[in-house]
Each structure stands twice: as C-alpha cells, then as structure tokens.
Amino acid sequence: MDVQRGRTDRRRFLLIAGLPVLTVGAGLTYLLWPEPPYRPEVRTDLEPLNRRLGPFLGELTDAHWLGYDIDASGAGDDRIPSPDSRIRLVGAARLPAGGAAAITAKPDHAFAPGAPSGLPAPLKKYLPADAAWQHSPGFDAYANGQGGKSEASDGTPSGRYLFDVARDLVHFDLLYLFT
C-alpha cells in the first residue's frame, strides 16, 4: 500500500510541478520562434494607382506593383504604428497609347536615359530587360509636387518615374510619407 501511495504522490508532484514548466517552455518557444521573412504580394488592381497617379499620367492598365510600409517587419505586424508612416509604392504599368511619348516629348522636363534601381525581386520579371527607360528630375518634381496632388492622394510623395516610349510603360518608385 505504501508503494501505491508513493506512486500517487510522485504523479501528483510531477503534474503540479511539470505543468507550469511545460507552459513556460511552450510560451518561450512561441515568443522566440523566428517568423518567416515578409514578402509582399504583387498586386494588379488598378484603382489605387489610377487614383494617385492617373491625374498626371492618364488611365493606367496592366499594372504590377507593390505597396508596403517600409518600416513594418511583416504581415501581421502588431507593433504600434509610428506617427510617421512611410509607404513604398513601386511597380510598372501600361500607359494609354502614345502616353509615354506625349509625356517625354515635353521640352520643359528634359528627359534623358535612366535605369530603375533597387527593384524588389518579385517585380523584376515585369520590367523588360531591354527597355529604353527615360527619366526626368523635372517630371519627378512636377508629379511629386503640384501635379501629384489630387483629392484622393494622401501623404506627401517623393520618388522617380521612368518611361519606356516603345512599350508605353511607366516604372514608378515612390515613397509616401504620412504625418
């Protein structure tokens, strides 16, 4: 009988002492488990782009783009947002027929050859490798300044626009600062 009582006491002790240890161990494992790297998904919806870029680029079609908070660590980021959010809007879209030629032909913008830089990997396949990109700091200033302002455009944009006249493509890489 004493043997039976000893086993019962030992089981009770293990249950009482082991349960909190297992709970703490499981909690620490959950907290310390590494999250998979955040990879934003390529978007193809046009409404957000046409709302922000349409007033000075025209109606965009066939878009592939990313929009993400550059300060966020990833999907499900549950941190308290900073008072100044920085949203990167980067991608490529097709302009109306002749749209790129009309924009690059304006002499006040002085377009010159340029190249995209810092393109996120998911977007590389959507920009033709043999594109003849044209860039103008003057057009960037226009689009990011008064030309980029519309009632639907929130935040203060900064960034670059590159045009491929042969394909009527625009590549945009913008940073919106929300304060």
9-44: pLDDT as tens digits? 777 877 787 778 788 877 777 777 776 565 678 999
- Nearest-angstrom CA–CA distance, 65 and 76: 20
- From CA 154, how far away is CA 172, in angstroms rounded? 17
Model confidence, pTM: 0.71
pLDDT level of residue 6 (50, 70, 90 thresholds): low
Distance CA 152, CA 142 (A): 17
Please list, in sequence order, all residues whose beta carbon lies within 8 angstroms of the beta carbon of residue 127, skipping any fewer than 6 positions away. Answer: 92, 116, 119, 169, 171
Digit-coded pLDDT (tens) for 61-82? 999 999 988 877 655 555 555 6
E strands in 17-123: 61-69, 85-94, 112-113
Lowest mean pLDDT among 3-7, 12-16, 43-47, 126-130: 3-7
